[in-house]
Every structure is written in structure tokens, then in C-alpha cells.
Amino acid sequence: MILYVRFLLPPALETDGVERGASLETGGVAAGGVEAALPALLGLAEGISPVVQALPPDAVLIDVRGAERYFGRDATRLASLLRVRALAHCGVDCVVGVGPGPMLARMVARAAGPGTTLVVTQDEAARFLADKPVAALDGVGPATARTLCAYGLDSIGRIAAAPLAVLQRIIGARAGRELWERARGIDRTAVVPNAVARSIATERAFPRDELDRTQHRRALLSLAEELGARMRGERQVCRSLTLTVRYADRSTTTRTRTLREPTAHSAALTGTAYALHESLGLQRARVRSLALRAEDLAPAERAARQLTFDPADERARRIEAVADRARARFGPRAIVPGSLAA
């Protein structure tokens, strides 16, 4: 069986603005959010099964078929064990979906409530999928869903009952077969172990759900400065940046942008973070937290940098190096951008 585990902060930290703000100042998992704690949570998952795939910002896939035989426990009991460990070691709760494949496990987790485990076996897959809209299937986007609904194929059950040849005529031979198989609970994908070290993340939770765009930008500046300092300290650069916005209703929006060149320069990271935030076009959105993740990390010595004739860029990089040495000696708050000094 496959576990899809989505981690989340306990309700006391998720909903109480005062407690969120206090936790942000005093440290712990709440200070960095679930995304920043993902490496530690992956370590807990790997203690149960070595076949773990990270799904940033807050989820993992775990293949527990070997672990079931090793521990002599079924997938439900292994999910309970992981939940207890996540709460005890990291103060993080989770939602667990258990299914015969990654696709079903994800869909089952979406149907489960916070802090619960929901299991769907292969024999139960057809009944679980039958009444769900076609857009709930992996790989079915809005355009494909509209095309299928125009032919009356608006549910997964109707797609599973349709002849394969009909689906192939509507959306193509390969896509039609894949859709027909997924509608019947056949999932040919696998859990692919990967290294979380290829990305680092940090998060800022607001004391109260925040509408002010100026406060959003201050948080983004703080996040970019922290990521840049961490990467420079480890002599790494990133090739892309991902912004995750969590709203008051616990929904999230994620955007990723590839950088013009691999970098750990805080000014470049900040500019990209601002651009990602602007692309969302948030209007009076009640934002609960912002998370920034640097992806595709690589050693700094292997990265090429385009030289410029702009003296301001070179001056900014020299000042940044001096600030890094001052922080290393006197602490991370020794030098901060002026807009964050307050």
C-alpha cells in the first residue's frame, strides 16, 4: 500500500493569531512552518520505509509494502505510528490517505479530515471513484474536463464505463488509455525516492490573517534574505524559486519561477519573490502565511555568473559578503535591511 501524508500545524497554532505570532518569535516548528520542517519529517518517514518521495511544500508519498512485512503491521497502523512520531518530534499533525497507488492515495487524502487516516483498497477503488467529478482525476485539466463533459462524461464512473475506443477518439489514443485506466483505479506510477537536500525552504506566519500588501512584501524580503544567507553559508546556489501562499481558509496557491542564472544573491531572490507575489494578483486576500523555497540547489563553484559593467551590482555583492561575516560573528540580527529593522 501507498501512504500520501500531508503535514499541517495543529489547530491551536493554525487558527489562533496570538499563538501563531508568539510561536514565530520563540522558535520551533511553527517559526519555520511545515515546509521548513519537511526535512525532519522526511527523516521520520524514512524510519518507517526507505521508499519516500518528498512533495514540497508539505506532503510525502511512502511505499510501505516492504515495511508492512518488516514491522508486521498493516498500512493503517504504520500511518498511526508516523502521525504519533510527527506530533512528538516536530509538533506537526497530518492527514493520511492510504491506497494501492500514488494517485488513489492522494485522492483519498483529499477526502480525509485533519488528523485522520482514510483507507481505500483496490477492491473499493471503483466505488470510491464512481461519483467523483472527472476533474478530480490526476492529469485532467480544465480544458480536458470541459471536453469530456460536453460528451456527457462528467464523472469518473461514466468514464470507467465508457468504451476505450470512444475516449481515444475524444482526447487521443495515449491520453484516452491513461484516462480510462485511472478511472478504473489502475495506476502505473511509482513512488520515486528523492533527496530533500536539493531544496531548502522557510516560512513566515503572520500574527493575524494579513491583508496589507506592504506586510506581505516585508515577509518576502525577510524570507529571501534568510534563504540567501543560508545558501551562501553552505556555498550553494539555486536555479528556481517557489512561493507558497496560505490563506485564512487553509487553501494554498503555489507559483514557481526559474531564475535567469543560478544564484544565492539576496537581491535577485527578493526581486523574483516580489514578481511571483505580483503575478498572483491578490485582491484583499487574507494571507495566513508565506513560504519561499529555493530549488535545484547546486555547488556555488560550479555556477557561472554573468559579469556586468554596473558598479552598483558589484558593490551590493561586496556589502552582502561583509554583512554575512558580521552575522556569522554577532548573530543573524546584527545587520538587517532597513525595512525590517522595526
Identify whether the C-beta of residue 98 lies closer than 8 Å to the C-beta of residue 118: yes
User: What Rg, from alpha-carbon coordinates, does the chain have?
Assistant: 23
pTM of the model: 0.58
pLDDT at 101: 87
pLDDT at 28: 44
Identify whether the C-beta of residue 5 lies closer than 8 Å to the C-beta of residue 95: yes
| pLDDT over 90 (residue 273) | yes
Mean pLDDT of the chain: 81
Winning range, highest mean pLDDT, from 13-17, 258-262, 305-309, 337-341: 258-262
The cell for 331 is 548573530
